[in-house]
Chain A
Amino acid sequence: MAAKKKESPGTFEDSLGRLEEIVQRLEQGDVPLEQAMHLYEEGLALSRVCAGKLKAAELVLKRLSKDAEGNFSLLDEKE
């Protein structure tokens, strides 16, 4: 979890935002054919990624505990 978020292709929010952008760009209508094809491919990939993330997700419950020195640790919470 030490890795920076930005190293991944982007957060879920970024992906959704980019998808919206592509829709808007394409719906403006004056897109050259080659660019339209690129946007189409990117849109396909993004919609797959977003749908995948939404479907695969699992709820995780953890407890934040603090030791005597005030250091935090996360404990898995049993159901």
Chain B
Amino acid sequence: MQIVRQALTVTDLTRKIKQILESGFPSIAVQGEISNFKRHSSGHLYFTMKDESAQLPCVMWRSRATVLSFTPEDGAKVIAAGRITVYEVRGTYQLDVQSIRPLGAGELQAAFEKLKKKLEGEGLFDPARKRPLPAYPKRIGIVTSPTGAVLQDMKNVFRRRFPGLELIMIPVRVQGAGAAAEIAEAVDDLSRYASIDLVIVARGGGSMEDLWPFNEEVVARAIARCRVPVVSAVGHETDFTIADFVADVRAPTPSAAAELVVPDRREILENVADSWYRIQQSVLGIVSDKRERIHNLLNSYAFNRPVDLLRQHSQHADETLRALHRVAAHAFALTSARQGSLDQRLKALDPRLALRRGYAIVRKDRSIVSSTVQVHGGDSVDLEFQDGRVRSTIE
């Protein structure tokens, strides 16, 4: 058998393989057991991942290796995420590892505890670092998956409680290889982007492996250096992640985070109405207080002195008048009494009374004769009796 095809150079072939492999596996996660683990003096990590029937050379560059949440060691079962690269010089392919985490609950728990202890030792969980949330945020940054119910749930709560908001979202993957790096970058971006009042990092419920990105150091560091308060809302109420410990506030669920960061507008409306009511009551109180004081002043002794004086004068006048009446009545009584006695006396002087008793009046030439010397014999006189006159002659 003859070789008739045109021969490629080794370099050409390797380049073709490189192109196919690198474009075919740009982002993968692979699980296996670590062997031949070496930390080079440069800080890069070299190891092999293997299972029963295959092995894969791996490299993790120093820049990524420094934020590892656990120390890989031979025999550890892990999931490594990254891309396939071809090392042309040796004609080998390898996994360029971007992140690595333990596989299996036990290892995850151990890694979790280790990172937790480390960050706690740095004071990242210190209550004094926790910043208060703004009372009335206007712009809220949200780092979460664009798909799924989480964003929708939060929007529903915001609409119900306090719709006057701008939500600034950065969609990220929230699980799997590379998710932690995306989450960390999104938090950093929102931190750099001006005029955001707070950031919510949210994810729905899942297994510990699903939630793992929120237990990675890159995410914890990004949250810790964020310039505005961060609320973590990862998984269900019982799930605690490293992100929860570093965040300024931990919300048990994404919906709870939305509840927590904005007030209920109905409550504020009630408060506003209450304030307005109290203002009205206060002012009414002040006005009626002033009115009462004016009223009291008007009723006071000083203000009523003239009236009082008038009343006194009036009373005095009344009394004077009454006295006057009394005096007048007395005077009248006196006068009329005197009048009566005069009448009597006048009546007593009436000569006709004497005539009735048998006396007679003697007149000569119409003058009354009261003495014998006034008459002489032969004089003609008139005698007046009570019932008439008689002419007679003196002898």
Residues of A within 8 A of B (CB): 11-13, 16, 19-20, 22-23, 26-27, 29, 31, 33, 36-37, 39-40, 43-44, 47, 50-51, 53-64, 66, 72, 74, 77
* Interface hits, B211-270 → A, CB 8 Å: 265, 268-269
When the two chains form their complex, are residues B164 and A54 in contact, meaning their CB atoms are under 8 A apart? yes
When the two chains form their complex, are residues B286 and A31 in contact, meaning their CB atoms are under 8 A apart? yes
Across-interface contacts of A20 in B (CB, < 8 A): 275
When the two chains form their complex, are residues A62 and B282 in contact, meaning their CB atoms are under 8 A apart? no
- Tell me how many residue pairs across A and B have CB atoms closer than 8 Å: 108
When the two chains form their complex, are residues B169 and A23 in contact, meaning their CB atoms are under 8 A apart? no
When the two chains form their complex, are residues A60 and B166 in contact, meaning their CB atoms are under 8 A apart? yes
Q: Write the nearest CB–CB distance from A72 to chain B, whole angstroms.
A: 5
When the two chains form their complex, are residues A64 and B265 in contact, meaning their CB atoms are under 8 A apart? no
When the two chains form their complex, are residues A58 and B286 in contact, meaning their CB atoms are under 8 A apart? no
Given known A-B contacts A31-B286, A37-B283, A23 and B275 have beta carbons under 8 A apart = yes
Q: Besides A29-B286, A31-B286, A53-B164, 7 other CB < 8 A contacts?
A: A20-B275, A23-B282, A36-B283, A54-B265, A59-B158, A59-B164, A64-B141
Across-interface contacts of B170 in A (CB, < 8 A): 63-64
* Interface hits, B117-159 → A, CB 8 Å: 135-136, 141, 155, 158-159
When the two chains form their complex, are residues B283 and A64 in contact, meaning their CB atoms are under 8 A apart? no
When the two chains form their complex, are residues B167 and A59 in contact, meaning their CB atoms are under 8 A apart? yes
Residue from A40, A50, A60, A72 in contact with B272 in the complex, judged by beta carbons closer than 8 Å:
A50
Across-interface contacts of B375 in A (CB, < 8 A): none
When the two chains form their complex, are residues A62 and B279 in contact, meaning their CB atoms are under 8 A apart? no
Contact string against A for B residues 198-210, beta-carbon threshold 8 Å, 1 for contact and 0 otherwise: 0000000000000
How far apart sit A16 and B273, CA to CA, in the bound complex (Å)?
Answer: 11
Q: Residue of B at shortest CB range from A58?
A: B163
Q: Residue of B at shortest CB range from A15?
A: B272
When the two chains form their complex, are residues A16 and B272 in contact, meaning their CB atoms are under 8 A apart? yes
How far apart sit A1 and B279, CA to CA, in the bound complex (Å)?
Answer: 34
Q: Write the nearest CB–CB distance from B376 to chain A, whole angstroms.
A: 117
When the two chains form their complex, are residues B136 and A47 in contact, meaning their CB atoms are under 8 A apart? no
Q: Tell me if B62 counts as interface (CB < 8 A to partner A).
A: no
Given known A-B contacts A63-B171, A74-B168, A77-B169, A36 and B163 have beta carbons under 8 A apart = no
When the two chains form their complex, are residues A51 and B272 in contact, meaning their CB atoms are under 8 A apart? yes
When the two chains form their complex, are residues B136 and A13 in contact, meaning their CB atoms are under 8 A apart? yes
Q: Write the nearest CB–CB distance from B283 to chain A, whole angstroms.
A: 5
When the two chains form their complex, are residues A19 and B135 in contact, meaning their CB atoms are under 8 A apart? no
How far apart sit A17 and B164, CA to CA, in the bound complex (Å)?
Answer: 18
How far apart sit A23 and B275, CA to CA, in the bound complex (Å)?
Answer: 6
When the two chains form their complex, are residues A50 and B135 in contact, meaning their CB atoms are under 8 A apart? no
When the two chains form their complex, are residues A22 and B164 in contact, meaning their CB atoms are under 8 A apart? no
Given known A-B contacts A50-B268, A54-B265, A13 and B135 have beta carbons under 8 A apart = yes
Residue from B163, B189, B279 in contact with A40 in the complex, judged by beta carbons closer than 8 Å:
B279
Across-interface contacts of B168 in A (CB, < 8 A): 62-64, 74
